[in-house]
Structure 1
């Protein structure tokens, strides 16, 4: 999977993708985009980390950094809707249907997202979707909502604003358009 993946910039495309998924797979898209975690951290979430909670405390595998994530109202709704009460707190949220008490693999998560983008009819438009697209979409949504780039940079644990802008897919053309839109 050496191909570059991109954020899902259009809210319409994101919603098409969301509607192409259900259950656990829809939750994968939702939480991946809402939390901005790397897939390796997302897949290790247990039901008890989410059900009935307002916050998630997670130590990132890659950087060993503790992150505290506050759940938005829409995230709480999705958790309530897609995590049934008959699942134990120590079960994985994204449990493999193969059994064995393991989460789905990165490869399976990749397949789920790519298949959904094809079903949603957005694959050709936005290019390759990968598990990292969720994290990039998280950063892009923050940027789109006016969150300061240095804060996004910190949340993604990047070393420069330039790296963050490139990561979330902000192009020179988009920056130029933003400047052109300012009327004085």
Structure 2
């Protein structure tokens, strides 16, 4: 890769890295533990996709698309490799266990867009290594901080008021899966939760049921 091109490619993330202090792979990142966040509303998902399409931010667009269609943690999405997608099997960072993952056509189309983006920008390893490549070093994955920065930026620009961050897309997938199947045990297994009560709280079903009852029961 030429020096001129590397400088050009670096521009897409260098300001973000400066603002959020992004670390490379393996370094400690800020935790959102204890922070309550909501699933993303359908209308806001559409807005987010349009926002990142308009900005030509193929990486963030694709990362959201894959998370919404697989329910994977963002840490696993960002460090996913082309080989893992082909094998439909990856090692979860949190559990250190291997997991079978089915990538639907929406995921595969998003990955093809990324490959085309890399190829058009003359990145030699456009179809090898990490799917989400860092701008400064394409042998490294896109950092969580950079992804989180773009999500927060979009949330502000789109004037979305309720609390959500990168983890909300996994919650969105879980809630959609539950709404489709009404099988909480299945969702629990897919999320690797310890019991069904945890899963119901996770996707906010208990709260919705209470609110629904409060509207129906009147004296």
Q: CA deviation at 1:175?
A: 5.9
Against the structure 1 CA distance between its residues 175 and 93, is the aligned structure 2 distance closer, same or farther, given a 3 Å change threshold? farther
- The residue correspondences of 1:150-161 to structure 2 (distance < 5 A) are 150-161=185-196
Name the counterpart of 1:14.
45
What does 1:1-184 correspond to in 2, within 5 Å?
1-2=32-33, 3-8=35-40, 10-21=41-52, 22-50=57-85, 53=86, 56-84=88-116, 86=119, 87-99=125-137, 101-122=139-160, 124=161, 126-127=162-163, 129-174=164-209, 177=212
Larger radius of gyration: 2
Mapped to 1, the partners of 2:101 and 2:68 lie a distance apart of 12
Normalising by structure 1, we get a TM-score of 0.81
Q: Which runs of 4+ in 1 moved over 6 A?
A: none
- Is the CA contact 1:47–1:83 (under 8 Å) kept in the aligned structure 2? no
What runs of 5+ residues in structure 2 fail to find an aligned partner?
A: 1-31, 120-124
Higher relative contact order (CA 8 A, sep 6+): 1
Single out whichever of 41-50 and 11-20 deviates more from structure 2: 41-50
Structure 1 regions of 5+ residues with no counterpart?
none
Deviation track 1:144-173 (CA, whole Å, cap 9, x = no partner) reads 222511010001000111101111222333
Alpha-carbon distance, 1:31 to partner: 0.8
Instruction: Pick the structure with more helix per residue.
Output: 2
In structure 1, how many angstroms separate the alpha carbons of the residues matched to 2:111 and 2:182? 25
